[in-house]
Structure 1
Amino acid sequence: MPTTFYVNTNPLFSTDKIQICKKCISDHIGSKESNGYEDRIKSVLAIMDKPFIYDAWASSDKDWSKYIPQISSLSHYKGKTFSDSVFNSTPEYSASDDLNEYSEAQVTLNDDEKNKYVSFWGKGYEIDDYLYLENEYETLLSSYECDSYAQEMLFQEIAHEKLSIRKAREANKPTEKLLKTLQELLGSSNIKPVQETGANATEQATFGTLIKKYENERPVPEPDPMWADVDGIKKYVQIWFLGHLCRMLGINNEYAQMYEDEISKYKVDAPEYVEDDDAVNS
């Protein structure tokens, strides 16, 4: 993926984007099971000047990839900073709330947000559907490389397909065809588990194996003609190092002569003036 960044809302920074990419932030935060996970979340939010809202955090399954889209997108969090953080559960929301249990009375979108979601995801979805799609899309962007518009479209379709599977399961409907389509989309995006395993194996290969792979798949291009002859490098050293050194030390040998012959190509002789005979006689 082209390297992506979060929008900057910290007035201490003059840039439009936080100057730490999403992947680097995700790598720094680490896994949910790691020690200090929540503390690192809070330190990152402090840098971004975004609030830590405990109930929203709990409803996001305490998952950074699910929490940050809510805090960044939903209207009732706009304008809030890290100083507005709530670190304990409040009666306003239950910590057991899940994203799909929000109702329009709890979560509202302003016109700009609605237009943004409808433009990107299409019409006909509930608010929690849009949030789910946005979460899945952000997770894909932060987890895999996305370096083209085609890859973005595939990630978008994967999010759609996961939502369809989710709704089918909630309605106790069969999901075989939907899962098959999802597998095809994952394959087209080159992020199926078997493909990831192959990529990891390449990363863990020995240096010699990698060199062989690069030589076979991405060979070194032909050198510039002036550098194609290896002996030309030898001659270069003989003239400009040995020849010049001998010339400085007053040693007359073949290297000094090679240097004189080469340097003569770049010399300019002063013009000789011949006086006119008439001018002399006068």
Structure 2
Amino acid sequence: MALKKTVLKKDEIEKVKCLKCGKLKSPNTSNFYANTNQLFSSDKLEVCKDCILHFIGEKGSEGYKDRAIVVLAMLDKPFVDDLWTQMDQEWSKFIPPLSSFPKFRGLKFSDSSMSSIGSSNANIKKSNIDDEENNQEYFDDEEKFFNRKWMGEYTNSDIDYMEDYYLGLDRDFKIVTTNHKDYARKICKASLHMDRCFQDVLKGVGGADAKYKSARETFDTLSKSAQFSESQRGQNDVSLGCFGVTFDQVEQKKWVPKHVLLDEDSYDKMLNQFATIKDSV
């Protein structure tokens, strides 16, 4: 008997199917962990975070730590005793520093410092994760990796920012066409760049003002080209939205519905007659 071929719908093409629950989800870092295990070709570990959390279970439950180690082996990330203790044995607190702290960068599961697994890196045991300098580097030196959707090298935090911004644009402007989706992604990247430049302005970095101005102009140009601005909010809706939006469109010489003359019916004639009587009184 021939196998039935699964055909994905258009809105499902960019989504990732979880191998555990079978649900299609957006391939952002809030749904899937980035994959660093060379056994898998995808840049995402194709088991969603919800299923992983369900598998690991509640903190303190029997086998909790062992199940966390199993997931780390899948991710090819090291288990670090000191970090596990420092993060109060909370999986959600333990996993982000493995990708963000420079001292853990490039380490594999084989570098785990837990004695029952063995350690090939004694420096991990001696590291002090309370060091204020390291905690600051948590955000500054996060590892970048190439992301196919965003066509560039970004950190997990960068992708989270752009994914959230894209969802906001989609809610506000109902992005439907391929052209608008492409513009939306570029606008998200431009917003991220502009925010970085603004942070340099706040820090007083030399030449940051000019860079921020250039970044802002790029962002504004993209937004206007895609008609993603406050004056365009709701323009793609079936209804007019509100009088304020319509007035703005008229003032800016944008879309205005063409007036179509209709034949007068009995009610129109009666209204005209009443108007004539009122003017005569």
Normalised to the residue count of structure 2, the TM-score between the two structures is 0.38
Normalised to the residue count of structure 1, the TM-score between the two structures is 0.38
Higher fraction of helix: 1
Max Rg structure: 1
Return the structure number with greater relative CO, CA threshold 8 A, min gap 6: 1
